[in-house]
Amino acid sequence: MIQIQNSNQPAKKFALFELGFRPFFLGGCVFSIILMIIWLQNIIFNVPLSFFNHSLIPQYWHAHEMMSGFAVAIVAGFLLTAVRNWTGIQTINNKKLIFVFGVWIMARISFWLPDSVAFITAVFFNLLFLFLLTLAICHPLYLKKQYNQIAVLGSKIIFLLVADALFFAGIFYNNQPILYTGLILSLFVIIALVLVMSRRVVPFFIEKGLRLRTPLKNSKMIDLSSLFVFLSLLITFTLDKTHIITNILSLIMAALHSVRLYYWFARDIIKKPLLWTLYFGNVWIIIGLLLMALDIHYFSLSIHAWTTGTVALVTLGMMARVSLGHTGRNIFEAPKSVTYVFALITLSAISRVFAPLILPSTYYTQIISFSITLWIVAFILFVIIYAPILIKPRIDGQPG
């Protein structure tokens, strides 16, 4: 753990850049609200969106920004904070953190610049951000010789960089398969990060939150099998033209993760919002896999099971908990209103994934609009609750 320095300096009133989770959690949430409002206007009012002189269609911009904009920001905030705990070395803060966060903001803004400079600016700032994030995460791990952590986490950030490079290469060469491969790789890496971090923290959180006397079971065989099957699924998804192997691997992966969640289940999870949101976020991974196994043409629904379900629920749950714990607050006493945030985003995922399977296609626009509106309301509520926590110093007077 970080040793707290005893100082007689007056307490700060503004602590947004004291530790990585603060700006990236808040910035990621605010960006997701803006992103979804823009997307909602495009869907309902047909507000035209044009990027790079029409060489990037709005749907791909939306997909890229959900992954490389929103999701990666939350990942950055979590890892910059977690690595400090794992190594005892202060990760980037203050001026360095402001600079890296500024690069992330410029990456988001770059898509909206004039066509003459937009593309090269977007490439530069998006890849620069992921490069700087890789260095910021791996450097403390290297100093503490935690090479296994570098292999597990640093490699995934590098894969995100590769995915972004493929995305922009696809735009540059007007090659949709390359562009699409970049987006799919980004999605799979984000889900892989969720799987890795869930494996590390979810059973631990459940044990502590419910004061269980017996540790929850984790199977190394399940871990290794899941890693192999998920990697195979990523490869076959882009190469398997008949989709048969992809469907089979999806079903196997769903079964493996179901066993893992069976081991993690505890009866009183539903009573603890900060626990059930993480648990059911992982359930959405299984739902997405089952949809993919049933029919590859359901992959659009699988994507939204993983994004609106898994990514949104897990990131909200992690942000809610991390923000309390790392500002000196009681992690077992989350604000009661945050339960409404989790409920709204769950309803958003249910409506986005299941309503298109039930209702006629003529209601598709209304379904999407309803789901997006719930997302916007959920994240606005989260920002209202947590912005003061993220901006103000720790209540115990310690740094961080």
What's the average model confidence in pLDDT over 118-125? 98
Question: What pLDDT, on a 0 to 100 scale, did the predictor assign at position 11?
Answer: 52
Structure confidence by residue, pLDDT tens digits, 152-200? 898 999 999 999 999 999 999 999 999 999 999 999 999 999 999 999 9
Structure confidence by residue, pLDDT tens digits, 55-100? 999 999 999 999 999 999 999 999 999 999 999 999 999 999 999 9
Only one residue has tokens 């898509």, namely 111
**CATH architecture designation of domain 21-391:** Up-down Bundle (1.20)
pTM: 0.94
CA 133 – CA 193 distance, rounded (Å): 15
| Window from 105-114, 208-217, 340-349 with minimum mean pLDDT | 208-217
The sign of the torsion formed by the CA atoms of 171, 173, 177, 182 equals negative
Question: What pLDDT, on a 0 to 100 scale, did the predictor assign at position 65?
Answer: 98
What's the average model confidence in pLDDT over 353-371? 95
CA atoms within 13 A on the CB side of 382: 31
Helix ranges (H only) for 110-175 are 115-143, 147-149, 155-172
Q: How confident is the model at residue 296 (pLDDT cuts 50, 70, 90)?
A: low
CA 202 – CA 220 distance, rounded (Å): 16
CA 133 – CA 66 distance, rounded (Å): 18
Q: How confident is the model at residue 2 (pLDDT cuts 50, 70, 90)?
A: very low
* Percentage of residues of the chain with pLDDT beyond 90: 86
Angle at 47 between CA 359 and CA 35, to 5 degrees: 80
Instruction: Answer yes or no: is pLDDT of 7 > 60.
Output: no
Q: How confident is the model at residue 294 (pLDDT cuts 50, 70, 90)?
A: confident
Instruction: Answer yes or no: is pLDDT of 241 > 90.
Output: no
CA 12 – CA 306 distance, rounded (Å): 39
Question: What pLDDT, on a 0 to 100 scale, did the predictor assign at position 399?
Answer: 83
CA atoms within 13 A on the CB side of 236: 18
What's the average model confidence in pLDDT over 205-231? 93
Q: How confident is the model at residue 8 (pLDDT cuts 50, 70, 90)?
A: very low
CA 353 – CA 346 distance, rounded (Å): 11
Backbone angles phi, psi at 241, to 5 degrees: -75, -25
Question: What pLDDT, on a 0 to 100 scale, did the predictor assign at position 62?
Answer: 97
CA 251 – CA 249 distance, rounded (Å): 5
What's the average model confidence in pLDDT over 136-147? 95
Domain ranges of the chain: 21-391
